[in-house]
Structure formats: C-alpha cells, structure tokens
Amino acid sequence: MKRGWRLLFVLIISSNISAVREYEKNERTCVQELYYQNHMHQTVQFVQAQHRKYLSLNHGIMSVWEALERSNEIVDDSDPDLDLTQINHAFQTAQAIRADGHPRWLILTGLIHDLGKVLYLFGEPQWAVVGDTFPVGCAYANSIVYLEFFKENADYHDPNYQTKYGIYKPQCGLDTVLMSWGHDEYLYHVVKEYVPAQAGYVIRYHSFYAEHKAGSYAHLLNEYDLQMMEWVKLFNQYDLYSKSRELPDIKKLTPYYKELVTEFFPQKINW
C-alpha cells in the first residue's frame, strides 16, 4: 500500500476505534449503574447458582426465530454506543459478516450471538445478562471496565480469589474457568450441540474484552483457546463496527436468514 493511502487507512480505522466503547464520555448513566451492580454481585457463588438455575435448559422451548423476534423487546443498557433494539443489531452484524464473504456458520453466529439476552425476558436483571465478562475466582485484570466497582464484591475480600491464578491452574483452559454470568455463557449452552465448535466459542467469549482485546488472561488460556480466540477477535470487529442508525430491511432479509437458521437448528430448541 502506498504510504499516503496507508496513513489514510490507519486514520480511518483509529477514528472508528475511538468512536466505540467510550465509557467515560457516554451520556447513558445506566451504563455505569449496570457495571456497578454487575461488579458488586458477580461472585463465584452467584455464577455457580446461575449454572444450577439455567444450564439444564428448562426455561422454555422455542425456535431460534422466535427468540430473535422476542429480542426486539430488549435494549442493552451496557452498550455505550447504541440504544437500538437487539434484532437490528443481530441483522447488522450478520449482514456485515455476509458482505465480507465469510462462511455461513459465521454469518449465523452474527445473527444469533446475542440471543442469550432472552435471560432478561426470564426476569434476570440487566447486570446478570449483559456487559463485558471476566473470570471469577481469581484476581481482576486492570483492563476490566469500571475496575473500582469490584471493591463492593464479596470475592474481592477473599484472599483465595484474589491471587493471579486464584482457584485455577496455569494454562488450564477457559473451558474450566468460571466466567461472570451473562448472555454469552447461557447461549453457548443453548446452542452448542447444533453449531460448529468455533461458533460456540465465539458466542461464549464474545464479551470477554479483557482477554480478546487486552490479552489480560493469557495465563489461563490453553492451546485450543489461543486458536479459537482468533475467531473471537475477527467476530468482534463485526459486533462493534456494524452498529449504525441505518436500519436493516428485516422483511427483505428474512427468507435468507430463515433458511440459514434451518440449516443448523431443528424447529424448536430448549432454553
């Protein structure tokens, strides 16, 4: 690339990057409140209780498409960038991935990645559904947003949970790590038997910014994580930069996406 073009390219990319996830400048104070509650309540004990409550998938039987339509009732309070409903974000993400010629499983991942937010419709508060995720049971990385709010968390005062490795072993692999509870972990368990492993992995860790953006938990990752995390990084570009006020033509796009969903999922699945 010629130097001038490269500079322009870098400028465009960096101006884009500074335009998203600006927590300090955002005017939606609900973002701060959400992270205050999230960091106070996401303990090892809470995460284990949510696993017992949800991972047997006994909260309803519904099609992926129904979940997508119901997600139209949700606005994500943790998103400092946009207050559009989730169905628009689902289509925008999928369409951006599709436009770049990526495989069908990745387009599907774009469409469904946030469907775990139906937890909100099951009565969970936003702090237990959305926001960046992080491992519980070990020290909090400096790269986690609103780090200061952890002072209110019971685990913060338990020395066993505040060492670098905490309850984990070096390079143990994320599969054995308890992540703060939210839509990522939940949806992973809902869809894992229907989608390729890469899709499941992207869904499970797409909000783990402290790792996929900052690399703060490399000491817990194994070889498998290192490989899979590349998909998460690729996916994140679409999750963030496809957000726009220009609404996708959902009606026109529906036949294509219904067919895509049918390719991977049976009529109804357990939630």
Is 79 among the residues that bind Fe ion (CB under 5 A)?
Answer: no
DSSP state of 80: S
Is 114 among the residues that bind Fe ion (CB under 5 A)?
Answer: yes
- Identify which of residues 114 and 225 has a Cβ nearer to Fe ion in the complex: 114
- Rounded least distance, CB 5 to Fe ion, Å: 31
- Rounded least distance, CB 79 to Fe ion, Å: 8
- Identify which of residues 185 and 239 has a Cβ nearer to Fe ion in the complex: 239
Binding window for Fe ion (CB under 5 A); candidates: 35-43, 196-204, 220-228, 231-239: 231-239
- Calpha distance 209→262 (Å, rounded): 31
Q: Which of 174, 169, 165 is nearest to 223 (CA)?
A: 174
Is 239 among the residues that bind Fe ion (CB under 5 A)?
Answer: yes
- Identify which of residues 150 and 209 has a Cβ nearer to Fe ion in the complex: 209
Binding window for Fe ion (CB under 5 A); candidates: 14-22, 113-121, 161-169, 189-197: 113-121
Burial environment of residue 139 by CB neighbours within 10 A (0 to 12, 13 to 18, 19 or more): middle
Binding string, 189-228, against Fe ion, x = CB under 5 A? ----------------------------------------
Binding window for Fe ion (CB under 5 A); candidates: 26-34, 114-122, 195-203, 230-238: 114-122
- Identify which of residues 117 and 166 has a Cβ nearer to Fe ion in the complex: 117
| CA angle (13 as vertex; 226, 205 as ends), nearest 5 | 30
Q: Which two tokens stand for residue 123?
A: 């009565």
User: Residue 48 to residues 88, 175, 202: CA-CA distances in angstroms?
Assistant: 32, 14, 22
Phi, psi (rounded to 5 degrees) for 166? 55, -125
Q: Which of 76, 89, 170, 81 is nearest to 131 (CA)?
A: 76
**Applying CB under 5 A, what is the total number of residues that bind Fe ion?**
2
Residues near Fe ion (CB under 5 A): 114, 239
